[in-house]
DNA sequence: TATTGTTATACTCTATAACTATA
DNA sequence: TATAGTTATAGAGTATAACAATA
């Protein structure tokens, strides 16, 4: 689905008529309220809309670090698993190998990661963070953690935890 | 993120050694278990993975109808709101107008919808389902509803309802 | 002047096939 | 023969600018 993100429709509030102090019923000023109730009863629809909303916040807050969601995921996975291979990264994040190549190349060229020869497998290469990458990942992780409560401001901490647990049950196993 | 979907890695079970009846510890047969705990603590990561998992099931089950998620959403929105305009559809589903054009054109060419002149606005056109579109949408909606419990088989009905309510709180308002 | 529907277009994301070098 | 990393490329999804017709 498409999300206009930053460019939001202003949805003109349309000022109340002259003398009317309190307009009891908006009559039918602009739009007949669309019926979206069935779509909103579907898990897929809700999951997609929610994911896009959260990712939209993520993109804004992570822009200063120059990290998009997948780049942050890769960097964080390497941070927590030094020496991880590209294949393992692909499996863990559900990325196809050809699509990871460009991401790894970019992170390498930015000096955030270093590729070392794998100790036992000559075909593979272990991925590690550079000192710079370590600093950036640390800051980005703090931001990602803080961003949570921003993106889910309508939820209590307990609801947020419950939501994440339920989401994991959907895609794990 | 990318999801290999149908083409899953077999992740070789690697048969136990010859005479060993019960191997107590798998020693270190294949992979050192990756640490993904931090990523799994993030709402955005979980929402994205869950959404992709559900959409993957949706794609398979809806393939017989030739409907992708957005096409189903548009068709369903028109079914529940006869005479809706393209603009209203874009707003409701967060689709950009230029991207809806091709979807509407495709549904029209397949004979699923008809475009009628708008009663009051000469620029707009009301969208309606054809008889064929009505039948297809009805069957597709039944499938979409049934698919829910398939995609969320790890959840109880109560958990599924709770999950959808929490997701709506994330993206609405 | 603003809005609806549209074209053209660019950029990103996702997916498949095939190559190389190692195992 | 199979696997890790890679290249090339095709296809889908998403985004902006600009236009004609109408309000």
Distance (Å, whole) CA A114 – CA A127: 6
Question: What's the pLDDT at B12?
Answer: 33
B93-108: per-residue pLDDT in tens?
A: 999 999 999 999 999 9
Domain ranges within chain B, ordered by starting residue: 67-171
User: Of the ranges A1-10, A59-68, B26-35, B139-148, which one carries the lowest mean pLDDT score?
Assistant: A1-10
- B48/A48 touch (CB, cutoff 8 Å), yes or no: no
In A122-167, which ranges are E strands? 125-129
B55-105: per-residue pLDDT in tens?
A: 999 999 999 999 999 999 999 999 999 999 999 999 999 999 999 999 999
Minimal CA separation from A19 to chain B, in Å: 28
Q: What is the mean pLDDT of chain B?
A: 86
B12 touches strand D (CB under 7 A): yes
Question: What's the pLDDT at A31?
Answer: 60
Backbone angles phi, psi at A167, to 5 degrees: -60, -40
pLDDT (mean) for A13-30: 36
A70-108: per-residue pLDDT in tens?
A: 999 999 999 999 999 999 999 999 999 999 999 999 999
Question: What's the pLDDT at B30?
Answer: 52
Please measure the distance between the N-terminal and C-terminal CA atoms of chain B and give it in whole angstroms.
Answer: 26
Question: What's the pLDDT at B64?
Answer: 97
Q: Specify the CATH class of B67-171 in words.
A: mainly alpha
Question: What's the pLDDT at B124?
Answer: 98
Minimal CA separation from B17 to chain A, in Å: 22
**pLDDT value at A158 more than 70:** yes
H helices present in B6-130, as ranges: 43-62, 69-80, 86-93, 97-109
What's the number of CA atoms in the CB half-sphere (13 Å) around residue A171? 26
CA atoms A62, A44, B1, B102: torsion sign: negative
- Residue A109 — pLDDT band, cuts 50, 70, 90? very high
Q: Which CATH number fits domain A42-171: 1.10.10.10, 1.10.357.10, 1.10.8.60, 1.10.1740.10?
A: 1.10.10.10
**pLDDT value at B14 more than 70:** no
Question: What's the pLDDT at A33?
Answer: 87
- A94/B2 touch (CB, cutoff 8 Å), yes or no: yes
Whose CA is nearest the C1' atom of nucleotide D8? A98
B152, B167, B172: best mutation site toward chain A, by most A Cβ within 10 Å? B167
- B148/A43 touch (CB, cutoff 8 Å), yes or no: yes
State which residue of chain B sits closest to A47, comparing Cα positions.
B51
Percent of chain B with pLDDT over 90: 80
């Amino acid at each position: 689905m498409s999300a206009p993100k930053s460019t939001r429709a202003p949805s003109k509030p349309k000022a109340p008529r002259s003398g009317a102090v309190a307009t009891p019923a908006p009559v039918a000023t602009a739009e007949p309220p669309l019926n979206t109730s069935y779509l909103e009863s579907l898990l897929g629809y809700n999951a997609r809309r929610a994911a896009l909303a959260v990712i939209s916040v993520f993109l804004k807050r992570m822009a200063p670090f120059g990290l998009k969601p997948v780049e942050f995921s890769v960097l964080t996975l390497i941070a927590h698993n030094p020496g991880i291979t590209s294949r393992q990264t692909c499996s863990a994040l559900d990325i196809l190998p050809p699509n990871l190549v460009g991401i790894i190349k970019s992170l390498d060229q930015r000096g955030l990661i270093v590729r070392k020869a794998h100790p036992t497998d000559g075909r593979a290469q272990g991925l590690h963070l550079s000192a710079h990458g370590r600093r950036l990942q640390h800051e980005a992780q703090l931001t990602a953690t803080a961003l949570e409560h921003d993106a889910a401001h309508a939820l209590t901490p307990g609801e947020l935890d419950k939501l994440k647990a339920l989401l994991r049950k959907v895609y794990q196993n």
